[in-house]
């Protein structure tokens, strides 16, 4: 079946400006033509037509950092442990609900960086088969951490190079799309130290070498400078968080930023609307209070990375404290704020579409061009002018399949 979509603006995920009064043609799940309505002629007269007046059509969003089975509430760890006690079915249902919330706001790809293998890979296959309403899922499954380390609840706990090798091999064999390793402790896990490295430089090198041998990339979680430095030296493909935090401040390392830019190692800062909400909470948790005190310095470090030319990957850490999956447009929009990265709307949108695809090695999504998957999002207004419009979802197509959105009638009216 051929579908002809027409919108006031079509932005391809890359160009400086959208096509005004543009069209996109979709056949068998792929984009086959893009252009100006004035040039359509009678070429697609037989196609099913979908007019989306007042909207901007753009590539579906990529959320570069999610946790499928976290609740996104104020108490995600407590919720998680309650779900685990109730069994894998409950965890799976949590993931399915999260994924549907993401799909409904135009997220067409998520990268999951920490979920039990049995749940992560099952929902990934269900999503690929169209059996659930969900973005496409790329998943690390179970991460690699140290004994008692960050997110030990669902990770392989490894203390030697051999144990790391074994964990990476297990993940590859179970069907992981990439490997996630916790290079430092994290805020979510009591009795870990976010400001200290968890693995030695050699251990991280072993992880990357073994993953590379098996054709997998490595995403390294790192808050603190030493963990970031070791993960970059080891050749991780992305650094998650990358805030350069120390116990009482922030120590940006311009040299490591240069090395990341040169090696095209991306960073996913996972700050956005979620952090703003957490900061605004009347009774913030101790880690949030700590971040509040350091936020200007953290933002300065992240801007330092952007200025050094380090590829920026948008991602919300959906599932963790105060970051629900359905809030992703607001998270992307927050990157534009002067109190955050101060990006132009276009730059923020690139980080969630074409730029994200490039960093993740996805060659079939993130741009609107012939031959690409028909991962499309229509929002009311023009998010390239006012990024807040990204949250005005009117239509979503996932690999050529339209999602049944309640407001679709309104969009077409
Ligand atoms: Zn995370």
Query: Which CATH number is 38's domain given?
Result: 2.30.40.10
pLDDT at 408 over 70: no
Q: How far is the CA of 13 from the centre of ligand 1 (A)?
A: 25
Query: Which of 335, 360, 385 lies at the terminal end of a domain, its last residue?
Result: 360
Query: Which of 360, 389, 404 lies at the terminal end of a domain, its last residue?
Result: 360
Q: How far is the CA of 7 from the centre of ligand 1 (A)?
A: 35
Domain that holds residue 292: 61-360
Q: How far is the CA of 131 from the centre of ligand 1 (A)?
A: 26
C-alpha–C-alpha distance, residues 304 and 319, integer Å: 27
pLDDT at 35 over 70: yes
Q: How far is the CA of 185 from the centre of ligand 1 (A)?
A: 11
* Residue 236 token pair: 């991780």
pLDDT at 413 over 50: no
Residues 43 and 130 in one domain: no
Q: How far is the CA of 378 from the centre of ligand 1 (A)?
A: 28
Burial class of residue 370 (count of CB atoms within 10 Å of its CB; 0-12, 13-18, 19+): exposed
Residues 22 and 159 in one domain: no
Q: How far is the CA of 31 from the centre of ligand 1 (A)?
A: 32
Residues 122 and 153 in one domain: yes
pLDDT at res. 283? 72
Residues 184 and 91 in one domain: yes
User: Mean pLDDT across the stretch 225-246?
Assistant: 97
Q: How far is the CA of 67 from the centre of ligand 1 (A)?
A: 6
**Start-to-end CA span in the chain (Å):** 23
Q: How far is the CA of 64 from the centre of ligand 1 (A)?
A: 10
Of the two residues 208 and 340, the one the predictor is more confident about is 208
Q: How far is the CA of 138 from the centre of ligand 1 (A)?
A: 14
Q: How far is the CA of 268 from the centre of ligand 1 (A)?
A: 10
DSSP state of 230: H
Indicate if the alpha-carbon torsion angle 192, 194, 200, 204 is positive or negative: positive
pLDDT at res. 409? 47
Q: How far is the CA of 406 from the centre of ligand 1 (A)?
A: 31
Helices (H), 52-181: 76-86, 88-104, 117-128, 161-174
Query: Which of 339, 360, 381 lies at the terminal end of a domain, its last residue?
Result: 360
DSSP state of 60: P
Residues 375 and 337 in one domain: no
Confidence of residue 287 (pLDDT cuts 50, 70, 90): confident
Helices (H), 241-388: 254-263, 273-280, 286-307, 328-334, 345-351, 354-360
pLDDT at 401 over 60: yes
Of 199-203, 297-301, 336-340, 406-410, the range with the lowest mean pLDDT is: 406-410
pLDDT at res. 410? 46
Q: How far is the CA of 299 from the centre of ligand 1 (A)?
A: 18
- C-beta of residue 58 within 8 angstroms of C-beta of residue 346: no
Q: How far is the CA of 380 from the centre of ligand 1 (A)?
A: 30
Residues 74 and 47 in one domain: no
pLDDT at 369 over 90: yes
Q: How far is the CA of 63 from the centre of ligand 1 (A)?
A: 12
Of 121-125, 247-251, 285-289, 387-391, the range with the lowest mean pLDDT is: 285-289
Confidence of residue 411 (pLDDT cuts 50, 70, 90): very low
Q: How far is the CA of 110 from the centre of ligand 1 (A)?
A: 12
Q: How far is the CA of 11 from the centre of ligand 1 (A)?
A: 30
pLDDT at res. 278? 72
Strands 136-139 and 107-112: parallel
- C-beta of residue 318 within 8 angstroms of C-beta of residue 325: yes
CA distances from 224 to 133, 192, 194, 220, 242 (A): 37, 13, 7, 12, 7
Residues 263 and 158 in one domain: yes
pLDDT at res. 412? 45
pTM passes above 0.85: yes
Total domain count, the chain: 2
Q: How far is the CA of 323 from the centre of ligand 1 (A)?
A: 11
Q: How far is the CA of 398 from the centre of ligand 1 (A)?
A: 24
Residues 315 and 375 in one domain: no
Q: How far is the CA of 169 from the centre of ligand 1 (A)?
A: 22
Residues 376 and 288 in one domain: no
CA distances from 291 to 34, 260, 287 (A): 44, 24, 6
pLDDT above 90 coverage of the chain, percent: 87
User: Mean pLDDT across the stretch 71-75?
Assistant: 91
Q: How far is the CA of 214 from the centre of ligand 1 (A)?
A: 23
Q: What phi and psi, each to the nearest 5 degrees, are found at residue 320?
A: -80, 180
C-alpha–C-alpha distance, residues 16 and 152, integer Å: 44
pLDDT above 70 coverage of the chain, percent: 98
Measured in whole angstroms, the distance separating CA 281 from the mean position of its chain's CA atoms is: 24
pLDDT at res. 48? 95
Residue with structure tokens 């033509």? 33
CA distances from 59 to 81, 333, 379, 399, 410 (A): 36, 15, 11, 11, 21
Q: How far is the CA of 218 from the centre of ligand 1 (A)?
A: 14
User: Mean pLDDT across the stretch 356-376?
Assistant: 98
Q: How far is the CA of 15 from the centre of ligand 1 (A)?
A: 31
Residues 243 and 389 in one domain: no
Starting at the edge strand that comes first in sequence, how are the strands of the sheet with 2-10 ordered? 30-36, 19-27, 2-10, 48-59, 376-380, 393-398, 401-402
Mean residue pLDDT of the chain comes to 94
Q: How far is the CA of 65 from the centre of ligand 1 (A)?
A: 6
- C-beta of residue 241 within 8 angstroms of C-beta of residue 323: no
C-alpha–C-alpha distance, residues 113 and 81, integer Å: 18
The CA dihedral of 27, 98, 384, 3, to the nearest 10 degrees, is 10
* Residue 38 token pair: 């004035």
With CA atoms as reference, report the closest residue to 84 among 49, 116, 128, 111: 116
Confidence of residue 405 (pLDDT cuts 50, 70, 90): low
pLDDT at 67 over 60: yes
pLDDT at 222 over 50: yes
CATH of the domain at 296: 3.20.20.140
User: Mean pLDDT across the stretch 46-64?
Assistant: 97
Q: How far is the CA of 319 from the centre of ligand 1 (A)?
A: 8
Residues 154 and 287 in one domain: yes
Residues 34 and 106 in one domain: no
């Amino acid at each position: 079946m051929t579908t002809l979509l027409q919108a006031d603006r079509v932005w391809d995920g890359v160009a400086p400006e959208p096509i005004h009064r543009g069209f996109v043609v979709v056949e068998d799940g792929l984009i086959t033509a893009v252009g100006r309505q004035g040039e359509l002629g009678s070429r697609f007269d037989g196609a099913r037509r979908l007019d989306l007046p007042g909207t901007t059509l753009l590539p579906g969003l990529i959320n570069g950092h999610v946790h499928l089975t976290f609740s996104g509430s104020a108490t995600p760890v407590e919720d998680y442990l309650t779900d685990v006690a109730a069994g894998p079915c409950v965890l799976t249902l949590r993931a399915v609900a999260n994924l549907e919330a993401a799909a409904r706001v135009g997220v067409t790809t998520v990268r999951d960086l920490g979920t039990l293998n049995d749940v992560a890979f099952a929902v990934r296959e269900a999503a690929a088969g169209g059996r659930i309403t969900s973005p496409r899922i790329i998943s690390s499954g179970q991460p690699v951490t140290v004994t008692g380390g960050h997110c030990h609840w669902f990770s392989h706990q490894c203390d030697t190079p051999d144990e790391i090798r074994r964990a990476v091999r297990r993940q590859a064999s179970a069907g992981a799309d990439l490997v996630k390793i916790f290079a430092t402790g994290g805020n979510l896990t009591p009795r870990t130290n976010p400001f200290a490295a968890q693995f030695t430089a050699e251990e991280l090198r072993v992880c990357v070498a073994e993953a590379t041998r098996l054709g997998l990339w490595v995403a390294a979680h790192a808050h603190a400078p030493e963990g970031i430095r070791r993960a970059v030296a080891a050749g991780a493909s992305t650094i998650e968080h990358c805030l350069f935090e120390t116990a009482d401040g922030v120590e940006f390392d311009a040299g490591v930023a240069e090395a990341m830019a040169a090696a095209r190692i991306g960073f996913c800062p996972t700050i956005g609307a979620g952090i703003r909400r957490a900061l605004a909470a009347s009774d913030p948790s101790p880690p949030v209070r700590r971040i509040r005190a350091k936020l200007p310095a953290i933002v300065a470090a992240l801007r330092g990375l952007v200025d050094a030319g380090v590829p920026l990957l948008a991602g919300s850490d959906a599932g963790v404290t105060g970051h629900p999956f359905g809030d992703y447009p607001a998270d992307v929009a927050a990157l534009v704020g002067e109190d955050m990265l101060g990006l132009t709307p276009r730059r923020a949108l690139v980080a969630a579409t074409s730029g994200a695809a490039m960093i993740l090695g996805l060659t079939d999504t993130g741009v609107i061009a012939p031959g690409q998957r028909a991962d499309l999002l229509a929002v009311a207004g023009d998010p390239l002018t006012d990024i807040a419009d990204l949250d005005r979802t009117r239509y979503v197509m996932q690999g050529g399949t339209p999602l049944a959105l309640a407001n679709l009638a309104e969009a077409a009216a």
